[in-house]
Structure 1
Amino acid sequence: MNQLIDPFNRSITYLRVSVTDHCNYRCHYCRDEDHITGTTQNEILSYEEIAKIVRLFSQLGVTKVRLTGGEPLLRKNILNLVTMLGEIPAINDIPISTNAHLLAPMASQLKAAGINRANISIDSLKPDRFKQITRGGDLDKVIQGIDAAIASGMHPLKLNMVVMRGVNDDEIEAMVDFAIGRKIDIRFIETMPIGAAGIDALDHHYSEADILNRMHAHLPERLIVTNPTQTSGPAKSYLINGSKTSVGIISAVSNNFCSSCNRVRLTAKGRLILCLGQENSISLRDLLRSGKHDDEIKSVIINAINNKPEKHEFDSAINNIDSAQMVEIGG
């Protein structure tokens, strides 16, 4: 029985775990150019600590754990953690979010260890533009990572593209065709006025309606838009008829998707974040390291869920959540 029901009757079944706040890319909407991550090894949760926290959450009703970062594949011996999480009986879904730069040589091992699917960030199919957006990223390695994930049997695979007006919005159609060609899914994400992007993100905002208009014009006889599926996640999904591809749109600015939120976040430093657009948090790391009994920690988690807000408030988050915090939260 799920014991994690928030004040708005939402059942919390999904935990996003940031395993590191380090990243090999410095995407300008995520990190300031001069931001340096100074987190030390002692500050972050060990794999044993992560596994224990996940086990406690699983006893309270969580069934899905996503590994994020920073870039999770930078964390040494990440396969060990995946194996440990896979041994927790109630956890039946362990996806990963990655920029795929390091994915190609690891994909088959990750799949064998228990990563069943992946979300891969890719904001451009033009090498020079991709390098500029990510401040040094290598598009070839990312595409190699995507293809290796496909070959490994991870399914479904979702590409995530942050659409920015005047930056990469001319590639919407190309990205859809890329996904169709590889029989994988694609999600377009509106820029959000948080983190390093801040309020400047609104200057590059490209709305859900604009994206839909472009897709409908590109695939007039194939895009099924009459009954989009709203899952417990933030994306509205649309099927591309005659293909293996669906298109999702995460429209945090145009629309509020909080009514179906089923997730909380654990940072690399062990803080439980109740909402991406709020500052409320508690330190589970400190509870663990102070020797608290499992039942005490579970009680704290349950009480924390009782403080989960009804919705994000990005207008106030502009002033409250800086880029360093966003890097730690893990998106």
Structure 2
Amino acid sequence: MLDETGRSITYLRLSVTDRCNCRCRYCMPAAGVEKVCHSDVMGLEEMAVVVAACARLGVTKVRITGGEPLARLGVERLVAMVRSVPGIEEVAMTTNATLLAPKARALADAGLDRVNVSLDSLDPDRYRAITRTGSLDDALAGLAAAREAGLGPVKVNAVLMGGVNEADIRPLAGLARDGAVASVRFIELMPIGEAASWPRASFVPAERVLEELPDLAPVGADGVSETFSAPGWRGTVGLIRPMSHRFCSGCNRIRVTADGMLKACLHSGREVPLRGLAPDALVRVIADEIHRKPERHAMDADHASQSARAMNAIGG
């Protein structure tokens, strides 16, 4: 389906939980999130119905997100349910990978195509400081298990934080250079949730990656990621620049939160409830929101996201 600016909306990011076993500083408060009743979160069958409605409107790709999606009981069954929806061609997942090693094979068997792994540092102490509770060994084991299970091409996502992990640019990019992963994408920190009040120095432009790795040259684009590589590299480096280079004109996605709210734009405060709607009514509501999808977000270096939720509650 096309929105009113002519963008074709083919991509749903479906959050299955706002909970996470890590507490990344830019994403969640140190104490974690307030627990909610089981009934306040969509059941797996409800989520599958939402996916089916989106598929009727032209969505072909679903990414399962969180919080940490592997913290949601039964996520393997949800993957199988989403995979069985007519029209869905790709099922992916974004995960911190710390819970992935024992589940990778079951997820692949259920129909998961590939994973993106959130990994902001390859230094064990720095990784622990960023995640507050995470183990780098567990994350790397999950990364290896994903490759072994065929959940690829595996991509790593790293959020750039000034004064925190700039020293990790070269080591993380080395994962792509050596072919351990297909791509390492560096993402500009956004002023949303916990990071909304961070000092300006925390927001490092992705150009910093090219300064650190001057041999990189453009080789194209992959969705919202500008892609670079260099002679002898087996993989690529991606730059995702929501702050310095808006890519709203190419946005093809919508988001649904674990409690059943539709967000046509990540940084908009507008949310529309989907729970309790019959299938045809669900299609109409989603179609209306797609049509009303904002042309661009208002977030920039001087204006925080208008979203009332942090990333863990929206879906990373």
When residues 317 and 38 of structure 1 are mapped into structure 2, their CA distance, relative to the original with a 3 A threshold, is farther
Partner of 1:258: 248
Q: CA deviation at 1:35?
A: 4.3
Alignment of 1:318 with 2:309, yes or no, is no
Residue correspondence of structure 1 range 24-63 to structure 2 within 5 A: 24-63=21-60
- 8 A contact 1:100–1:121 mirrored in 2: yes
Give CA deviations for 1:186-232 in whole Å, capped at 9, x if unaligned. 0001111111111415321221222112111xxx2xx332xx4234x
Within 2, Cα distance between the matches of 1:91 and 1:317?
Answer: 36
Residue 151 of structure 2 is aligned with which of 149, 154, 159? Answer: 154
- 8 A contact 2:153–2:181 mirrored in 1: no
Q: How many residues align?
A: 314
Describe the SS at the equivalent of 2:163: coil
Partner of 2:111: 114
Q: CA deviation at 1:321?
A: 3.2
When residues 178 and 53 of structure 1 are mapped into structure 2, their CA distance, relative to the original with a 3 A threshold, is same
Give CA deviations for 1:55-103 in whole Å, capped at 9, x if unaligned. 1111110000000000000111111111111111211110100000100
Residue correspondence of structure 1 range 302-317 to structure 2 within 5 A: 302-315=287-300
Superposition TM-score, scaled by structure 1 size: 0.91
Residue 243 of structure 1 is aligned with which of 221, 233, 251? Answer: 233
Within 2, Cα distance between the matches of 1:234 and 1:304?
Answer: 21
- 8 A contact 2:28–2:310 mirrored in 1: no
Partner of 1:213: 211
Within 2, Cα distance between the matches of 1:325 and 1:174?
Answer: 28
- Structure 2: segments with no counterpart, 5+ residues: none
When residues 183 and 200 of structure 1 are mapped into structure 2, their CA distance, relative to the original with a 3 A threshold, is closer
Describe the SS at the equivalent of 2:48: helix
Residue correspondence of structure 1 range 1-331 to structure 2 within 5 A: 4-181=1-178, 182-200=180-198, 202-216=200-214, 220=215, 223-225=216-218, 228-231=219-222, 233-287=223-277, 292=278, 294-315=279-300, 318=304, 320-322=306-308, 324-331=309-316
Q: CA deviation at 1:39?
A: 2.2
- 8 A contact 1:273–1:282 mirrored in 2: yes
Within 1, Cα distance between the matches of 2:267 and 2:13?
Answer: 15
Describe the SS at the equivalent of 2:37: coil
Give the AA of the match of 1:318: A
- Structure 1: segments with no counterpart, 5+ residues: none
Give CA deviations for 1:218-274 in whole Å, capped at 9, x if unaligned. xx2xx332xx4234x321111343333111111111110111000000000010011
**Identical-residue share of aligned pairs (%):** 40
Give the AA of the match of 1:321: S
Give the AA of the match of 2:242: A
Within 2, Cα distance between the matches of 1:255 and 1:286?
Answer: 38
Give the AA of the match of 2:220: T
- 8 A contact 2:261–2:273 mirrored in 1: yes
- 8 A contact 1:224–1:241 mirrored in 2: no
Provide the aligned C-alpha RMSD in A: 1.6
Within 2, Cα distance between the matches of 1:239 and 1:39?
Answer: 44
Within 2, Cα distance between the matches of 1:143 and 1:241?
Answer: 26
Superposition TM-score, scaled by structure 2 size: 0.95
Q: Whose helix fraction is larger, Structure 1's or Structure 2's? A: 1
Give the AA of the match of 1:214: E
Q: CA deviation at 1:179?
A: 3.0
Describe the SS at the equivalent of 1:123: coil
